[in-house]
Amino acid sequence: MTGRSNNGFRCMEENSRNLSLGVRRIMVQVLSLIPGPIIIGAIFDSSCRLWNESNCPSSDGECLIYDNRKLSVRVGIFVIGFSAFGGLMFLMGSIFAGRSNKTSDKSLKLNDNKIQMHRSSARSYII
């Protein structure tokens, strides 16, 4: 299991984990797979130096020469920016998952003490 899924599961209750997987899948589709190609296409189009104009009125044409320097800077900013955003979200998820684990650890310790008390009382009846 990846760290991203593991952190997501730590924040969820046991019965809500399937729902969280479904919501995460929808969010990945909506936030990355749909606008991603559109954004990358806009970056490429903005880095074009020479357009081949076509005779077709519905077509904008195609790029013949790209400004490689401008293209590499814009793609780099795009990748670094979204990677930093993803890292920030991962860090926030890890912090909140750590907080929820501390409360669940306390409840587990209390439940373990109750189980041990029940076992010791059951032994006294058996003996």
Any idea where the domains of the chain sit in the sequence? 3-126
pTM: 0.57
The answer, yes or no, to whether residue 102 has pLDDT greater than 70, is: no
Which are the contacts of 14, defined by CB distance < 8 A and separation ≥ 6?
none
Q: What pLDDT digit, counting tens, does each position of 55-99 carry?
A: 766 667 788 999 999 999 999 999 999 899 989 988 887 787 766
- What value does the mean pLDDT take over residues 29-53? 88
The answer, yes or no, to whether residue 125 has pLDDT greater than 60, is: no
Of 12-16, 48-52, 104-108, the poorest mean pLDDT is in 104-108
Name the range with the highest mean pLDDT among 31-45, 65-79, 94-108.
Answer: 65-79
Q: Give percent of the chain with pLDDT exceeding 90.
A: 26
Which three-class secondary structure string do you get for the chain?
Answer: CCHHHHHHHHHCCHHHHHHHHHHHHHHHHHHHHCHHHHHHHHHHHHCEEEEECCCCCCCCCEEEEECHHHHHHHHHHHHHHHHHHHHHHHHHHHHHHHHHHHHHHHHHHHHHHHHHHHHHHHHHHHC
Confidence of residue 124 (pLDDT cuts 50, 70, 90): very low
